[in-house]
Amino acid sequence: MTVIDANRMHEIETRYPEYFHRSFRQRFGGLMILIATLLYSLYAVWFFDLPKLFAEAHWERVGIYLSQWVSYDVQPEFRIGNDGSIDIRYPRFSPLGNNPHPDWLVNNPDGSITVSISGTGRSVTVSKNETIVTAHGVSVPVEVSSGAPKVVGPVPGWMTVYDDNVLADLGFAGNVSISVDRVKIRKRFMGWANFIFDTQSSFFDKPFGEVVSLIVSGPRIKPDQSNLSLAFDDIWNNSEWQHGDVWTKLFQTIVMAFLGTLLGSLTAFPLAFLAARNITPNRLLNQILKRFFDFLRSVDMLIWALFLTRAFGPGPLAGSGAIFLTETGTLGKLYSEGLENIDNKPREGIKSTGAQTVLVHRYGIMPQIVPVFVSQTLYQWESNVRGATIIGAVGAGGIGLKLWEAMRTNANWENVAYMVILILIVVFIFDTASNALRHRLMGTKAH
């Protein structure tokens, strides 16, 4: 064991003062940051009133919306006449078409009708005097012959009794609303109904093999049009999914992002040379242009879109203009900062030969900045594809407006899912392409 005397200890302390004479900030900085973070977290909980927010949130709607993203429902309504007859009606735009005869609806010999809700033993039997709901291993009769529906026996937890109707919640499978003169059933199915052909199409409800046979070698359904052309028209003009309109709006969003980014980069490029201190030694001009870039950046793209839609009306032009203004500010700042950080030796060497200013910029500056500028522009373009979707919701056109219209109905969540997936695919493609181009320009390997 080595013993260090006082002189040796003093020598070590003198040599390494940063370890033996640490400041207050060095000793307690980490603890202070931790305490500040905890205090700020408590303040945020109080400021946003998070306990009340979480207590009053409608968490059940999350499951409802998510289920509607990947499913659809059919809503048959059974109207009970005074003579005991049961009339079956469907909504006007039912996924089953105008004259449905589903195999899950069975007419019984005694005049009642049984509807199978799911393959797990859930069913509803409708007759003149009562409706029997079977779920969770029990059958609950509901009398409908008197002035109000009445549950016979104990009321299960999944059934709610109101003054004029009884509601049976069957979970994801659907629900049943029972009143004296009618029974309305909501039966849910997985998948997207009529995604290829809608109920008005000549190919609706035909098996896949039959559709292929008709397109390849079948007789013409319409004498003046081939079956292939007819099938494409039916898909493109699908009234439920509106593929043609959705894809057109998606293309508008891509063009909007491209045009706005392109115009912004072309405008910011020459202005950046005037804003860079080492390129243009005019301090007043430098400051004016940099504050101009700050102004364009400080107004959010969404705000620019609101201004321009009021000025020019809704449409892709307003969206492209909003992206153009924002990108002029953003790219102008990035370009000018990139120019101020270049290596001046190549520039000074070319300038010493007596070359003109244009040639000095061309051979002394451009080789250094082009890869960086293109990389930054590609990144902004990729980001603007996402941004163009957001500004479309305020009237700037593109798929964002289409997405907002579908969400406002609160009933077309499967269409919302369809458009969200398309946007994700487009963003993924542009992200991959942009990364590949950036790495190639910068001479690095993509991971």
Question: Per residue in 172-203, pLDDT tens?
Answer: 888 999 998 899 999 998 889 899 998 888 88
- Stretch 107-122: mean pLDDT: 84
Taking only the tens place, the pLDDT of each residue in 117-132 is 876 678 999 988 889 9
Mean pLDDT (the chain, rounded)? 85
Instruction: Name the nearest CA neighbour of 250 among 382, 434, 427.
Output: 427
Taking only the tens place, the pLDDT of each residue in 271-314 is 998 998 888 888 899 899 999 999 998 888 889 998 888 888 88
Q: Which residue has the higher pLDDT, 192 or 93?
A: 192
Contact 95, 167 (CB under 8 A): no
Q: What is the DSSP letter of 222?
A: B
124 Rama sector, left if φ>0, alpha if ψ -120 to 50, beta otherwise: beta
The mean-pLDDT minimum among 67-81, 97-111, 172-186, 338-352 falls in 338-352
- CA dist 31 and 109 (Å) reads 80
pLDDT band for position 325 (cuts 50, 70, 90): very high
- DSSP letters for 277-326: TTTS--HHHHHHHHHHHHHHHHS-HHHHHHHHHHHH-SSHHHHHHHHHHH
pLDDT band for position 20 (cuts 50, 70, 90): low
- CA dist 172 and 159 (Å) reads 15
List the alpha helices (DSSP H) in 111-242: 208-216, 227-236
Residue 13 CB-half CA count within 13 A: 10
Tell me if the pTM is above 0.85.
no
- Does position 169 have pLDDT exceeding 80, yes or no? yes
- DSSP letters for 345-413: HHHHHHHTTT--HHHHIIIIIHHHHHHHHHHHHHHHHHHHHHHHHHHIIIII-SHHHHHHHHHHTTS-H
Q: What is the DSSP letter of 172?
A: G
- Does position 447 have pLDDT exceeding 70, yes or no? no
- Does position 221 have pLDDT exceeding 60, yes or no? yes
Report the run of H or E that residue 414 belongs to, with start and end. Answer: helix 413-442
Helix, coil or strand: residue 195: coil
pLDDT value at residue 223: 86
Q: Which residue has the higher pLDDT, 246 or 392?
A: 246
Taking only the tens place, the pLDDT of each residue in 378-421 is 888 888 888 888 888 887 878 888 888 888 877 788 999 999 99
pLDDT value at residue 382: 83
- Stretch 436-446: mean pLDDT: 69
Residue 334 CB-half CA count within 13 A: 21
